[in-house]
Amino acid sequence: MVVSGRNRAATDREHVLLGRTIELPLVERLSLVRAQYASRIGWHAHRRFEILFLLEGATSYELADGRTVELRGGHFLVIAPGVRHRGVHDVRRPGRLCGLQFDPSAPGTGKHSLFTSADLRRLRTRFKVGSERACAMNGELRRQVTTLAERIGSCDVARARLSEDDAAALRLSACATLLEAARQLTAPRVLEPTQTVRIATDFMDSRLGESLDMSQVAAAVGCGRARLFAVFKQSTGMTPNDYLQRRRIEKSQAALTGSDATVTKIALDFGFASSQYFSNVFRKYTGLTPSAFRARTRPSR
């Protein structure tokens, strides 16, 4: 956060603990920020997952793809590794924010975490699928985060080493918070059909170049595959798979017209496993092969 030095000193307090301080390799950093004003945070990305729990206040984050995520008190946001983001200018005061940076896939992260290797793989999948969207904390998660924040705030971070009891309590609290957040991300949510479709389409639009399974989309929405397909079909007249393919074809059409990239490269860029499969899908939706479409829509050179 960046505000003038005098105002920041008077209004903001930040407590930071490193994972090695509490002997928890899973976690790189724990933080607690109490601030009267939110200010702009420049573009940046992390090598690990970052999860932000906003206990009080409100703030906003802008993602590199142009989306803005509004975060209100009682909600949390997961940022996946490598995703560039920044704080939005002139947002409302954040109040109290608890943050964790962690990496379930790094070597040795199971030490002192009580998680097995399989548990850590599941955690990584859940956080990846549920990233870049605001999610409301349930009562249990809010209690866990509040406890973690209190423990971070009560530590004397200037000391070279915490007591064994304090370190153990922080390890347990951090792990319990991560587990409950992962559960919350994949818990069934009761949404209006328009909300379900909007979340699903936003999720698919942001991952057009990835190999995407509808189970991932359903998990991002927080419902089962059957409900996702039923609501999507009722609201849009097409299945989620149909929507995804149409969006990929639309983007590939623009690439065929506006670039000299090969058909194979364009196919791979938009999530198709091979140029042959891309050609088959492209012809299904446009009546032309990609090469024929390019020849028809671009002037001869």
Q: Model confidence over 289-298: pLDDT tens digits?
A: 999 999 988 7
Same domain, 197 and 61: no
What is the model's pLDDT at position 48?
93
- What angle separates helix 164-186 from helix 139-154, to the nearest 10 degrees? 150
Average pLDDT over residues 251-262: 92
What is the model's pLDDT at position 170?
93
Average pLDDT over residues 44-56: 92
What is the model's pLDDT at position 11?
45
Is the pLDDT higher at 5 or at 159?
159
Same domain, 168 and 247: no
Average pLDDT over residues 236-246: 92
Greatest extent of the chain over all pairs of C-alpha atoms, in Å: 74
Please give the radius of gyration of the chain, using alpha carbons only, rounded to the nearest integer.
22
Q: Give the integer Cα–Cα distance in Å for 260 and 157.
A: 56
Pairing of strands 58-63, 85-87: antiparallel
What residue numbers bound the domain in which 181 lies?
5-186
What is the model's pLDDT at position 144?
95
> Which tens digit of pLDDT belongs to each residue from 72-110?
888 899 999 999 998 876 565 667 899 999 999 888 888
Same domain, 228 and 156: no
Q: How confident is the model at residue 176 (pLDDT cuts 50, 70, 90)?
A: very high
What is the model's pLDDT at position 264?
94
What is the model's pLDDT at position 91?
62
How many structural domains is the chain composed of? 2
Same domain, 229 and 249: yes
φ and ψ at residue 147, rounded to 5 degrees: -60, -45
φ and ψ at residue 17, rounded to 5 degrees: -125, 135
Same domain, 39 and 142: yes
**In CATH, what number is assigned to the domain containing residue 288?**
1.10.10.60
Mean residue pLDDT across the chain? 84
Containing 27, the helix (H) or strand (E) segment is strand 27-35
Cα separations (Å) of 164 from 168, 169, 171, 213, 233? 6, 9, 10, 44, 56
Same domain, 26 and 157: yes
Q: Which has the closest alpha carbon to 139: 183, 199, 94?
A: 183
Q: Which has the closest alpha carbon to 70: 56, 59, 84, 85?
A: 59
Residues near 43 by Cβ (< 8 Å), separated by ≥ 6? 64, 84, 85, 86
